[in-house]
Amino acid sequence: MKKTTLTILFASVMMLALIGCGTKKVEAASDPWEETTVAEEKVPDASETTSAKTEESQTVDSQTEAAETEAIGETPVALSDDSFAYNGKIISVKDDLQTILDNLGAGEGRPSDQEGVICYDIGTDAVSVFTKETDGKEELTQITVHDKTARTAKGVGVGSTEDEVRNAYGEPNDEVVEGAKLLTYEFEGYSILFAFNDNVAAISYFISK
């Protein structure tokens, strides 16, 4: 696929990619007037309190470290450039569509703002999968990642700086400024596009044929 075609394609889809295919969900707040019952408790002495706080602090630190490790999707398995780590799973754009959707935990797809394009939104616009029907078969066209915990094969994620992207991937095959800076890296059968709003705001994998 020529650069000119890629540039036109990216310019036409990036607005959709940046916002995902769903609206942001707002979690319901708990009722501030909910009735609570306070039980009378024995007040521990100072030594007991200090010991308990120390143990609690160590437990919290341990749990926090484990949660952070799980959140960024760290894996001992080396990833290929067509893959990214998300929510403890490895997602590859070279997998078949159903495998990708299953690994992401996607629900039913729905029509996007682009004619003929079906969109699957995972999480609160954490990951968006775009497909299109070709010769009666639904095929993957694009995956866009907004989730800050996801990581590409080279360790880049949403929030990474432009320098970090260039250090990891080298000079891009294409660089466009269309409202937001876009850096494109081409691989065999797909491309990776980094969209910036100061730092990386979205990462899109495009299928090329």
Domains and CATH numbers, the chain: 3-19+80-207 (2.60.460)
> In the numeric block, which tokens belong to residue 171?
């000079």
Higher-confidence position of 150 and 47? 150
CA–CA gap between residue 200 and residue 109 (Å, rounded): 26
pLDDT attached to residue 136: 87
pLDDT band at residue 116 using 50, 70 and 90 as cut-offs? confident
Tell me the β-bridge partners of 179.
Answer: none
CA–CA gap between residue 40 and residue 24 (Å, rounded): 43
Q: What is the mean pLDDT of residues 17-32?
A: 43
pLDDT band at residue 103 using 50, 70 and 90 as cut-offs? very high
pLDDT attached to residue 49: 52
pLDDT band at residue 32 using 50, 70 and 90 as cut-offs? very low
What is the four-CA torsion angle of 179, 185, 191, 193, rounded to 10 degrees?
Answer: -30
Residue 23, pLDDT > 50, answer no
pTM, whole model, 2 decimals?
0.69
- Mean of pLDDT over the chain: 77
**192 near 84, Cβ under 8 Å?**
no
The CA-based angle 169-2-131, given to 5 degrees, is 80
Nearest to 179 by CA among 193, 195, 164, 203: 195
In this predicted model, what pLDDT tens digit does every residue of 80-94 receive, in sequence order? 999 999 999 999 999
In this predicted model, what pLDDT tens digit does every residue of 43-95 receive, in sequence order? 455 555 555 555 555 554 444 444 444 444 444 468 999 999 999 999 999 99
